[in-house]
Structure 1
């Protein structure tokens, strides 16, 4: 005979892992037949005009392991292909469905506004980078002013530490100027096919442009064509990469913060 469950044991987990927020109107047509984190089923939690796509979970925290990140990403892509959505960052867990409903109710107007802004759009990444492994050497040869400064400093032997620092500063200034000019050219070239753009900081010396673009789904091919046209105007040492389509991470901002539900209502205290 199976033993009875204690008051602290649950037949199903209380926790809900969040993937995305979608309009309530699309819920009935969504295909959620894809495994979630830890192979759990997806289901919607609804409130007002919104629904959150969630799955049950027992853990309260998750490590960003490759398998889990991949599952999260696959779920987002699956939902994105079917409906407007606001993607939730990896690892957000609510203590209960009540917390999820409270979140949707509290931010309903904001979430609806963001959904309207990204509806029919996808995010594409665009990066331009120098393929030459010696970035400093390349730019010294590309910028005559920098080359002349370098030659003057080394003409009579090893320059001082201060002179090297000054040369480094000049290199950074010229590189930043080149990046800004290139980014402006890119933005001008894609403005007719992008709803919004966001220029991010380059990640290293080789990267010239790193931007995200919110692009109407019907204009993705036009965006790629515009990028190819831009790429043809760059020196052969530069590589242009387009990534995506992605959920609109850079163009949505979900304010999500869960606190434990007052220690289960003060452990049942009146």
Structure 2
């Protein structure tokens, strides 16, 4: 790798004076937009696509990236860039921002005043194969009891699924946008919601109302956030540099 100034790009934001980014990151501006960058040794990002997600070095890089994005997000709307985006100097940053200018500006306008919240609903059903108490039961009575148990499990599954669907629909009405994620077995809702700050109180009131019903039915409801709009920005500013 040459001795050129390689820059790690974290996020796109407004190009405004006085933005407090801490000691290392800085803003490279183009018109009314800017990219938050810091000098980096590209070798730090070697094998970024092959490292184990729980690898210590990769986790440290991810925490650094998120900390910078959050620092900007406290003051200005932000478009987080792909983790590991490394560019060849300020000229490359400005050139690529010029190319993405219209898309980035429109996207910033859309997410301004909004925050991302994540909601996951999980339901672990009782094992259908577990044996009921058979003491004193005839074969016919055992089969009847087992059939009743299976019906109860099915009713519970349908009830929780219905409430989870209504929850997702209700929360979506309070959100400017929403994005469903992969749902592992037992997960009924796994969605990111982009919510205006002015709608957050109503969003969380709706969430808590449904959460009580879901918990009574044996489901768990997990909420994460507020986050920068990681799930709702698709501006690609650059590529990961080779080490």
TM-score, scaled to structure 1: 0.68
Q: Which residue of 1 aligns with 2:40?
A: 57
Q: Which residue of 2 aligns with 1:237?
A: 218
Q: Which residue of 2 aligns with 1:137?
A: 127
TM-score, scaled to structure 2: 0.75
Secondary structure in 1 matching 2:225: strand
Query: Unmatched 5+ residue regions in structure 1?
Result: 1-7, 35-40, 141-150, 156-170, 261-270
RMSD: 3.0
d(CA) in 2 for partners of 1:259 and 1:237?
A: 44
Secondary structure in 1 matching 2:237: coil
Change (3 A) 1:114 1:138: farther
Q: Which residue of 2 aligns with 1:22?
A: 13
Q: Do the aligned partners of 1:49 and 1:108 also contact (CA within 8 Å) in 2?
A: no
Offset, 1:205: 1.2
Q: Do the aligned partners of 1:124 and 1:246 also contact (CA within 8 Å) in 2?
A: yes
Change (3 A) 1:138 1:216: farther
Query: Unmatched 5+ residue regions in structure 2?
Result: 49-56, 131-142, 148-152
Offset, 1:58: 2.1
Matched, 1:220 2:203: no
Aligned pair count reads 210
d(CA) in 1 for partners of 2:78 and 2:10?
A: 10
Q: Do the aligned partners of 1:61 and 1:91 also contact (CA within 8 Å) in 2?
A: no
Q: Do the aligned partners of 2:172 and 2:193 also contact (CA within 8 Å) in 1?
A: no
d(CA) in 2 for partners of 1:101 and 1:108?
A: 10
Q: Which residue of 1 aligns with 2:189?
A: 209
Following superposition of structure 1 onto structure 2, how do residues 21-170 of structure 1 map, counting pairs within 5 Å? 21-24=12-15, 27-33=16-22, 41-60=24-43, 62=45, 63=48, 65-130=58-123, 132=124, 135=125, 137=127
Indicate the structure whose relative CO is greater, using CA pairs within 8 Å and at least 6 residues apart: 2
Larger gyration radius, structure 1 or structure 2: 1
